[in-house]
Amino acid sequence: MVHEWSLAEALLRYVASVYGPRIKTLKLRVGVLQSIDKEVLLFSIRELAGLYNVSLGDVVLEDEEAVFKCNRCGYEWSFNPGDLGEEVRESIHFLPEAVFAYTRCPRCGSRDFKVVKGRGLEVAEVVPG
Amino acid sequence: MVHEWSLAEALLRYVASVYGPRIKTLKLRVGVLQSIDKEVLLFSIRELAGLYNVSLGDVVLEDEEAVFKCNRCGYEWSFNPGDLGEEVRESIHFLPEAVFAYTRCPRCGSRDFKVVKGRGLEVAEVVPG
Amino acid sequence: MAVKKTYVVLSSKGGVGKSTLSSLLAFYAAERGARAGLVDLDFTNPSTHIVLGVDPREVRYVEEKGIFPALVGKLRYVTPAAFTRDSPLPLRGENVSRALFELISILRLDGLDYLFIDTPPGMSDEHMDIVYRLGEVVKPVVVTTPSPLSVSSVRKMISLLRESGLREIFLVENMGGGGLADVFKEPGITYLGYVPFYPGFDNCIGSLENVRRCPLRSFFESIVDKLVSEG
Amino acid sequence: MAVKKTYVVLSSKGGVGKSTLSSLLAFYAAERGARAGLVDLDFTNPSTHIVLGVDPREVRYVEEKGIFPALVGKLRYVTPAAFTRDSPLPLRGENVSRALFELISILRLDGLDYLFIDTPPGMSDEHMDIVYRLGEVVKPVVVTTPSPLSVSSVRKMISLLRESGLREIFLVENMGGGGLADVFKEPGITYLGYVPFYPGFDNCIGSLENVRRCPLRSFFESIVDKLVSEG
Ligand SMILES: Nc1ncnc2c1ncn2[C@@H]1O[C@H](COP(=O)(O)OP(=O)(O)O)[C@@H](O)[C@H]1O
Ligand SMILES: Nc1ncnc2c1ncn2[C@@H]1O[C@H](COP(=O)(O)OP(=O)(O)O)[C@@H](O)[C@H]1O
Ligand SMILES: [Mg+2]
Ligand SMILES: [Mg+2]
Ligand SMILES: [Mg+2]
Ligand SMILES: [Mg+2]
Ligand code: NI
Ligand code: NI
Ligand SMILES: [Zn+2]
Ligand SMILES: [Zn+2]
């Protein structure tokens, strides 16, 4: 599951373009929906920082729970991709929106829900310097 | 331009269902995009309160400027429907989203923009009792 | 919307005939004396006005505690193209959804016997709003051609309609010869009939005269009959 | 996306042949030795796999610093249907937009000569993302049939493409006889050719064998030629 490389690439480009090439601390929220491999992600970020000449201090990765909210009945629930089969989990790994093919609101059955948090990779904090 | 009646009806139903049939103060934000006739709106609200047995104290209407933000270049601008011809203004009065047929980002020309505020009628404050 | 029956014409596949079918069913129903209406909810590509030969720049709505549909012959008619003077209207889904609820909340359709709603292809904001928020008040009329591209697309849409709790689904076969009656013979699906492929179909649309004299008229009318008697 | 040329097949009108055209152009280009790719961006109604006769449950992508397209014959192919096991995927526009950027940011298409992108009908999130964010790297190939419903719809889309700054617009006439060459004779529009209406078209799709033996093949190939030589 090494497309973590392309996630890392997009992220690092963004961070460097906004904060410049010297980053002391980079804190990321890793939404569990996408089942991102954190070791691979960390490795990719470090490699890419080398390639792009970004000096990078601490990198902190924290999990973020996946929370969905139904647009019809308002029910909010926490979604665990671990409950799904390997194949489905991998599909969502590549395309998080594929989750709408596999999940419905546990209360009213609607597929009209929002991913409130935990979809993918997000920057929580950047300390430049 | 008396479809203000139906706007008032939807609004009053909503307010009564959430706050009950006794309202001391009702404060509304009236987005300028829709060119809502405030006198007609106020009249409609009062009439409908009578019909629906909602006891209604003060009703305060305040204008809200229409602000758009470009999804492409990030430019934010204030939109004045008064700059448009009568026919176009009336179209937007009925269907605020028709504005996407008549307006583009003044900086980059994109039609991909967000109505940040001032689209329509909104409840600013309700004091029940 | 105090309408006796609201039929929403649906198909995840484009180009199968949703706009022509909704327009002609509504128009023929009105010609036969029913109080019938047509509302076009395909905001980014409205086309029922082209079917009926109506210039959207000439459409005027009467405002009175809401807005009343325009009259086209005896048909009550509403199209968003009237608000855009027929110019392009690109809209992201969130705005489509806002426009949809705005329009249906200001329309005055009281007293209609039959309302037909035209919708865009796909399965996006409009469809989710219709299925999950208006599902209790609308009856779905799903349209497909016999092409495998259409049939497989429409199967998915039907499975969504079913799981959302819609128990009565009407089906129309367009540009076909009746062969889909067997393909969709399932509990919960009512096959309303077919409309054959007609190479001169452009002569069936574009003006009320064309619509009135369309050689396929009896096919559409027998679908109206079946709808009226079935549900 | 380090691709030499990216063609996005567009039409606000549904059912005009976007999916068959994008699939067949890409497939024939690949058969003739070009490094060609096809990406289906019609998330709520993907159908290129049906055209090509590919079972999306069998499609496997190779992951390596991104994902590589699957091989279908010599064609590099990506469809979102592979991620949904071909089940229905209703998506609001905001999610369509997220899915689109996710997919194009992880795809490894380096070294392709020609990439064809299939899109849904309408003018909504996908189209705005493509026109306003990817407009610099894609070339629009607009498809229409001769029907007034399609022509008037496509005129609006073309006017949007123009005002957004896209200066070179390609046009294909499907299910027609060449009559639109004159209708769209305008500066900035390059007419690529037409594909006639063929009642047996179902035999042109559904398997690679069908596609290879399609009697209309020469029409599609001459469109490929024109594209390659024009831009
Ligand atoms: N029975 C038919 N025979 C021949 N052409 C038809 C028939 N029904 C519809 N058409 C044509 O097919 C095209 C698609 O129809 P339309 O109603 O616009 O479909 P949709 O609304 O589903 O996209 C139009 O050009 C229309 O004129
Ligand atoms: N040249 C043609 N002759 C006859 N039928 C065609 C032709 N091109 C496409 N079709 C058929 O028309 C329908 C719509 O084509 P499709 O590619 O799915 O359009 P879109 O992707 O624009 O919705 C399909 O059933 C397809 O098989
Ligand atoms: Mg239509
Ligand atoms: Mg869409
Ligand atoms: Mg298609
Ligand atoms: Mg849409
Ligand atoms: Ni991976
Ligand atoms: Ni009014
Ligand atoms: Zn729910
Ligand atoms: Zn801008």
pLDDT given at position B3: 82
CB–CB contact B92 C66 (8 Å): no
Measured from the alpha carbon of residue A37, the closest ligand is: 7
Q: Which two tokens stand for residue A85?
A: 């089969």
Please identify which residue in the block is written with the tokens 């193209």: C81
The DSSP-derived string for D55-89 is -TTT--PEESSSEEPEEETTEEEE-GGGTTTT---
* Mean pLDDT in residue range B69-94: 95
Cβ-nearest to B6 among C43, C65, C88: C65
Which residues make beta-bridge pairs with A126? A26
pLDDT given at position B2: 66
pLDDT given at position C199: 96
Specify burial of residue D134 (Cβ count, 10 A radius: 0-12, 13-18, 19+): middle
Say which CATH number the domain at B96 has.
3.30.2320.50
Which residue, among C59, C154, C17, C41, has the nearest Cα to D149 in the 3D structure? Answer: C17
Amino acid type, B19: Y
pLDDT given at position D65: 86
Residues from chain A that touch C163, judged by Cβ atoms under 8 A, are 104, 109
Question: pLDDT of A77-109, one tens digit each?
Answer: 999 998 899 999 999 999 999 999 999 999 999
Report the SS3 class of residue C169: strand
Ligand 2: distance of its center to the CA of C44 in Å? 21
Check pocket membership of C16 for ligand 1, CB cut-off 6 A: yes
pLDDT given at position C122: 98
Which chain B residue is nearest to residue C90, measuring alpha carbons?
B100
Ligand 7: distance of its center to the CA of A39 in Å? 11
Whether residue A46 is predicted with pLDDT greater than 70 in this model: the reply is yes
CB-defined contacts A:D, below 8 A: 71
pLDDT given at position D63: 87
Task: Judge contact between D118 and D6, C-beta under 8 A.
Answer: no
Amino acid type, A120: G
Flag whether residue B80 sits within 8 Å of chain D, measured between CB atoms: no
Residues from chain B that touch D132, judged by Cβ atoms under 8 A, are 71-72, 110-112
pLDDT given at position C231: 65
Q: Model-level pTM greater than 0.90?
A: yes
pLDDT given at position D1: 53
Check pocket membership of C101 for ligand 1, CB cut-off 6 A: no
Check pocket membership of C198 for ligand 1, CB cut-off 6 A: yes
CB–CB contact A111 C160 (8 Å): yes
Cβ-nearest to D124 among C87, C93, C127: C93
| C46 phi-psi bin (left φ>0, alpha ψ -120 to 50, beta other) | beta
Task: Judge contact between D64 and D105, C-beta under 8 A.
Answer: no
Q: Whose CA is nearest to atom 17 of ligand 1?
A: C17
DSSP 8-state code for residue A97? G
Is chain B touching chain A, with at least 3 CB–CB pairs below 8 Å?
Answer: no
Which residues make beta-bridge pairs with B125? B27
Which residue, among C125, C174, C121, C166, has the nearest Cα to C146 in the 3D structure? Answer: C174
Total structural domains in chain A? 1
pLDDT given at position B37: 93
pLDDT given at position B129: 85
Mean pLDDT by 10-residue block, N- to C-terminus, for chain D (231 residues)?
90 98 98 97 98 95 91 98 96 98 93 97 98 94 98 98 95 98 97 98 98 98 94 65
Whether residue C65 is predicted with pLDDT greater than 60 in this model: the reply is yes
Residue D18 Cα to chain centre, angstroms: 6
Chain B closest CA to D78's CA: distance in Å? 27
Domain range enclosing B60:
3-128
CB–CB contact B6 C43 (8 Å): no
pLDDT given at position B96: 96
Question: pLDDT of B17-68, one tens digit each?
Answer: 999 999 999 999 999 999 999 999 999 999 999 999 999 999 999 999 999 9
Q: Which two tokens stand for residue C145?
A: 């051609």
The DSSP-derived string for B10-57 is HHHHHHHHHH-SEEEEEEEEEEGGGT--HHHHHHHHHHHHHHTT-EEE
Q: Which domains does chain C have, with CATH numbers?
A: 3-230 (3.40.50.300)
Question: pLDDT of C183-199, one tens digit each?
Answer: 999 999 999 999 999 99
Check pocket membership of D93 for ligand 1, CB cut-off 6 A: no
Q: What are phi and psi of C229, to 5 degrees?
A: -85, -30
Which chain D residue is nearest to residue C42, measuring alpha carbons?
D122
ipTM of the complex: 0.95
Q: Which two tokens stand for residue D40?
A: 């289906």
Q: Which two tokens stand for residue D161?
A: 């493409």
Our mutation pick for probing the ligand 2 site, out of C147, C150, C180, counting the most ligand atoms within 8 A of Cβ, is: C147
